[in-house]
Amino acid sequence: MDVSADYFSPAPATPATAVASAVATATMFTSIDTTLARFRAAAAIPVITSARFLASDRVVTTSWTVRDMQLNAKRTLYQTLFLDGATASVPAEDASLGLDAVFERGDGTWWRAVQRTTVTNGKGKKRWVEVWDNEGALIASVEVSDAHGDFYVDNQIGALAWSALGTQLVYVAERKELKRDAVDAFTYEPDFGEAYWEGEWAFDAANVLDLGAEVSPSKPTFILNDNKILLVGYLRAPKVWGLVYCPNRLARLYTLNLDGTDLTPLTPETDAASYPVLHASRMKAVYLSMPGGGPHNACSALHEIDFESGDMRVVVPVVEDPDVPGAFPGLFVDALTPAQTSYEDTIYATTAWYSWTKIVRIDLATGRVEKVNGREDRSYRVLDVSNRGILAVESALDQPPRLVRLSENGEWVAVKAFTPPAAVAKLLANVEVTVEEFAPRVQAIVVRQKEQREPSPLILLPHGGPHSVSANECGDVSAASTLGYVAHGHTVALVNYTGSTGFGNGSIYALVGKIGDLEVEDSHCVAKSLLARTDLNLDQENVYYLGGSHGGLIGAFLIGRYPGFYHAASIRNPALNLGTFSGTDIMDWSFAEAALLHDLRRPSLVTPDTYARMWTHSSSSVISGVETPTLMQLGKKDARVPNHQALEWIAWMRGNKPHVPVRTLVFDDSGHALDSMDAARYGFEATVRFFAEFHV
């Protein structure tokens, strides 16, 4: 972690206030130390990442991620749960494993295929594909180190799938690095941007099937009696566009022969297709689709395609606006797989549903969508759908994740619940979470202490995107940060402004062409409305701002447009100038959000006219009004928003407004999300200390 030399130097104090300031600071830092301990404890709560029934409705295999604050590392734990009352196995860590897939043989036995990567005596990686039986015997092991590079194990690209007969496996890996001559060694090879640094792909089905330079494969599986492979192919020309949080990329469903020939597109080139789920017959599939290009995370439609006839139909169309307040807002789905890998007549999916995540049940025959029963104040994410039942994770900001199973009477029953340590349990017992509505498309999740004796400083925290959402769930370190701020005595307002996902497609497009105005004023309106409520007992003098990415754009607009309203701001990897996104993995973003023409197949250039238009949507345009002390946090590996935007903003402030404190943290090991161990831990600590320093 690189911390600028001026970070911990306090704001100048006059001799008359120096002693009082020192006493107040010492008292604050004692409280801060307690807060940091609570944050570390909350951040270490295990998060369920996967669960599935294993050849029985009484055995469940699970994986969990844990932030180990002692080792300063993220760890993955695997645990097998026995639902007949037996004690669950002790969690075991195996960092060498990649994806796995189970093939049920029909006689009560099963095979489990796994990807394994090992490093021996520092001599480089060895990669294996192994098959184990239900008795724990290794029945096949194939070394694939010379065939390709690293396995792809993420859910957007990676897959490991059995053929219908259990005789073949298909998966995705990096292409083997080729030896090049002196000139070819310098040939530019693009990657897929944020979180996909230095990656190329190869395709494996017994032998390497390289699809060439035009299409990169993902999510492969066998279809049509194991005679074909179905895959999602991302087009690489004219540019490889960033994938993370961007489901609108040029992607089509393709079929492929087992020998790698006859790559045939199935879906229109104008659409972005993703996450196919096979029918039990493997003769048809459903998949998600949205227009290619435009806003990065619009509402999806669910389609079904018949592989033999080629017929396609829309099962669930795009929802422009909910029929009535609180009704189904449309499909805003991160992924259909691996939770459900086959279907007959029903699909279950996790979708943004206003300020929650909920599970929906989709009837394939009628297209009817209904929310699966559950507590209204909880969020749910589906983990496994099979004929043995449905597994999900249930959580909220005041409820750690727990594994639940849908019972026959439609109620969720706990399978595995995490018991938090006493300090976290005490904190959660004193947390109150409410969802407040300010307009049909504007909500905020307000998190505060139940027993609040003194006025509480408000932290306004809009999400990034802008087409994303803050959900009342506990699933990553951001929830621990929110709880940490509340533990310190703050009230946190997580703002879902116009343009957030989960409010209908109309909300997405209502923001296009109006960024820097509509969502900025929505967020400021939330702050003013909350401060006007006497029942919340908010500190009228101390209002702070916290936000990253597009939330950083909002924050830089607010502190420039309303000087003095926000006493301090902590801004993370902010988008500050739409006109200088060239070279990032989302060069199209600025054009889309400014409502300017941009075709992913024929990219536009920033001309003087387009730059002038983009400048009106850029928060750097109001920098002259900034008087708010600002902490800037940057990830050195950020491929999404150029660091130079923030560094230029900082340089201008220091040169033109040296009286305004501006400090900078740069995390060498972190990208756009700033979710590395150092960025999460020290970014939280720096923000708490920074806000405390400018508390009046």
Containing structural domain, residue 572 = 2-38+504-577+618-693
566 in a structural domain: yes
d(CA 415, CA 404): 5
Domains held by the chain: number: 1
pLDDT at res. 551 = 98
> What value does the mean pLDDT take over residues 502-524?
98
pLDDT single digits (tens) 105-117 = 888 888 989 999 9
Query: Six-digit token pair at 13?
Result: 């104090």
pLDDT beyond 50 at 10: no
pLDDT single digits (tens) 596-650 = 999 999 999 999 999 999 999 999 999 999 999 999 999 999 999 999 999 999 9
Burial class (CB within 10 angstroms; exposed 0-12, middle 13-18, buried 19+) of 357:
buried
525 in a structural domain: yes
Using pLDDT thresholds of 50, 70 and 90, give the confidence band for residue 184.
low
Using pLDDT thresholds of 50, 70 and 90, give the confidence band for residue 510.
very high
Kindly state the percentage of the chain with pLDDT values over 70.
Answer: 88
CATH number of the domain where residue 28 is located? 3.40.50.1820
pLDDT beyond 60 at 89: no
> What value does the mean pLDDT take over residues 440-450?
97
pLDDT single digits (tens) 321-332 = 999 999 999 999
- Determine if residue 100 is left, alpha or beta; phi over 0 gives left, psi from -120 to 50 gives alpha, anything else beta: beta
pLDDT beyond 60 at 411: yes
Residue entry with tokens 């297209």? 367
- The contacts of residue 572 (CB under 8 Å, 6+ apart) are 547, 548, 549, 551, 552, 632, 633, 634, 674, 683
Burial class (CB within 10 angstroms; exposed 0-12, middle 13-18, buried 19+) of 546:
buried
pLDDT beyond 70 at 183: no
> What value does the mean pLDDT take over residues 248-264?
92
Q: Are 110 and 100 in contact (CB under 8 A)?
A: no
Return the higher-pLDDT residue of 19 and 459: 459
Using pLDDT thresholds of 50, 70 and 90, give the confidence band for residue 29.
very low
> What value does the mean pLDDT take over residues 651-655?
98
Cβ atoms < 10 Å from Cβ of 77:
16
Q: Are 636 and 668 in contact (CB under 8 A)?
A: yes
387 in a structural domain: no
d(CA 233, CA 213): 11
pLDDT beyond 60 at 166: yes
pLDDT single digits (tens) 57-74 = 888 989 888 888 877 888
582 in a structural domain: no
pLDDT beyond 60 at 91: no
Return the higher-pLDDT residue of 14 and 212: 212
455 in a structural domain: no
pLDDT single digits (tens) 364-400 = 999 999 999 999 999 999 999 988 889 999 999 999 9
